[in-house]
Amino acid sequence: RQLAAARNDLEAQLYRLLPDLQLSPAELHDVAAALPSLSALIEFQRYTPCSPITLDPVTTPRYLAFILMPGASLDVIDLGPAPPLEKAIEEALSATVECFADAVEAWRELSERLLSPLLSQLGGCTSWFLSLDGELHRIPFHCLPLPGHPNHVLAELIQLRLLTSGRDLLDRSGNRRASDAVRPALVVADPAFDHSPAPSSPDSGGQLPRSRDMGSLKVWPPLPGTAREGKELAELLGADLRAGAAATTIAVQQAQHPLVLHIATHGFFLPDQGEAHDRVGQSWLPLQGHDLLANFRGEDPLLRSGLVFAGANHPVANLDDDDGYLTAQEGVQLDLQGTELVTLSACDTGRGDVHTGEGIYGLQRALIVAGARSLLLSLWQVPDEATCEFMVRFYTL
């Protein structure tokens, strides 16, 4: 705790000393003026009502939605107590991860609960800018069915963009560099996790997930789909390709704000919860006899999430201070100012610890701090071959 407090104090000093980190006030009318026509900004907020005298909580936490229109009109909608909404989110996510038949119905019910109260104020808007809070960060909004249109997901009818806050709508051209237009894309794929033949792994029928099967695997297995994905996307994007032994942590760290950064590999997120640790935490221990990740329980969530690169099966033996891992903490230091899109084609890259009012602490936050303008991440495990097909179609369209 003392180290965390010291770090926070140092960060506060940096914000005061560095001009680039000093944010000017964002006025309501400025944000409204930045909204395109037929669009709306929807900022969600989780809060706990408190006594104005004692400041003690008086009821359970609740969610609000602030809807801002281009004409600077602002509506505030009470979405009700947080626990029932958050329970619905957890049930929908669990049903999806477990491939239950009622997963679609769970998302439909959640959409009705969350979006129906907003629709009367959003009539005619074809574009929504969403700023999330609390457990709402865990919702795949693009895939939600729109209330009243059960056969259509939200992204088919509404153009969506997720923001950290309404401030993101303001002119950010100052973050661009003159050389941005000539920077090539970079694709990092198919890392050689072990330069020797990889151990045999359970037959997955071509659907090996792009994160570790913590219950059975002792090393990171190869991902054949990422090899084809990397090659096809490099050709499609005219990108530099780093694959095999060249797909290293250092290759990503040395990249200088590519226009597009696409990484296809294993991803990991280790929850900091006692029950989760009891269930899966011990299975991280036998990583070549090295408890590299299990030791991070109780640590900063930016150390408990990350990506896996070449040499990760022998982290201690690697040279050049490259253990084969890029944690979210290291990702903060990447040079992504002006990078238009970062795609992490791996499992669990959108997960992290949710901090009310501050977003998700994990790879998502790290990449935004590093300067990335748009992100494509995953909220659960993704199968290797199917993800390859999806990514090729995504960039083709």
Q: Give the tens place of pLDDT for each residue, 101-111.
A: 889 999 999 99
Q: In angstroms, rounded to a whole number, what is the distance separating the alpha carbons of residues 97 and 348? A: 11
Instruction: Tell me the CA end-to-end span of the chain in Å, nearest whole number.
Output: 48
Q: Which amino acid is at 49?
A: P
Q: Give the pairing type, strands 127-131 and 74-81.
A: unpaired
Task: Print burial letters for 16-32: b (CB count within 10 Å at least 16), e (below 16).
Answer: eeeeeeeeeeeeeebbb
Q: In angstroms, rounded to a whole number, what is the distance separating the alpha carbons of residues 243 and 52? A: 58
- 361 sits in which H/E element: strand 359-362
User: If you average pLDDT over residues 267-279, what whole number do you get?
Assistant: 59
With tokens 């000017």, the residue in question is 24
Question: What pLDDT does 303 receive?
Answer: 78
Angle between helical axes of 82-97 and 103-115 (0-180°, round to 10):
150
Q: What is the CA radius of gyration of the chain?
A: 22
Beta-bridge partner residues of 294: none
pTM here is 0.70
233, with CB counted inside 10 A (0-12, 13-18, 19+), is buried
Count of CB atoms situated within 10 Å of the CB of 140? 17
CA-based nearest residue to 362, from 302, 297, 293: 302
Q: Are the CB atoms for 373 and 340 separated by under 8 Å?
A: yes
Tokens, residue 241: 């390709």
What's the helix, strand, coil split of the chain in %, to 5? 35, 25, 40
Q: In angstroms, rounded to a whole number, what is the distance separating the alpha carbons of residues 169 and 131? A: 11
Q: Are the CB atoms for 301 and 361 separated by under 8 Å?
A: yes
pLDDT digits (tens, 9 = 90+) for 280-296: 333 333 333 334 555 55
Q: State the chain's mean pLDDT as an integer.
A: 80
Q: Are the CB atoms for 221 and 201 separated by under 8 Å?
A: yes
Q: Are the CB atoms for 219 and 313 separated by under 8 Å?
A: yes
Using alpha carbons, list the distances in angstroms from residue 166 to 27, 33, 290.
Answer: 10, 11, 44
pLDDT digits (tens, 9 = 90+) for 76-97: 999 999 999 999 999 998 998 8
Vertex 131 angle, CA 390 and 300, to 5°: 80
pLDDT digits (tens, 9 = 90+) for 256-268: 999 999 999 999 8
Question: What pLDDT does 172 receive?
Answer: 53
Q: Which amino acid is at 326?
A: L
| Of 258 and 26, more confident | 258
Task: Print burial letters for 324-357: b (CB count within 10 Å at least 16), e (below 16).
Answer: bbbbbbbbbebebbbbbbbbbbbbbbbbbbbeee
Tokens, residue 344: 């992490």
Tokens, residue 103: 């997963």
Task: Print burial letters for 69-88: b (CB count within 10 Å at least 16), e (below 16).
Answer: bbeeeeeebebeebeebbeb
Q: In angstroms, rounded to a whole number, what is the distance separating the alpha carbons of residues 371 and 333? A: 10
Strand order of the β-sheet with 325-327 is 267-269, 305-308, 325-327
Count of CB atoms situated within 10 Å of the CB of 173? 5
Q: In angstroms, rounded to a whole number, what is the distance separating the alpha carbons of residues 210 and 349? A: 10
Q: Is the pLDDT of residue 276 over 60?
A: no
Q: Is the pLDDT of residue 236 over 70?
A: yes
User: If you average pLDDT over residues 21-33, what whole number do you get?
Assistant: 77
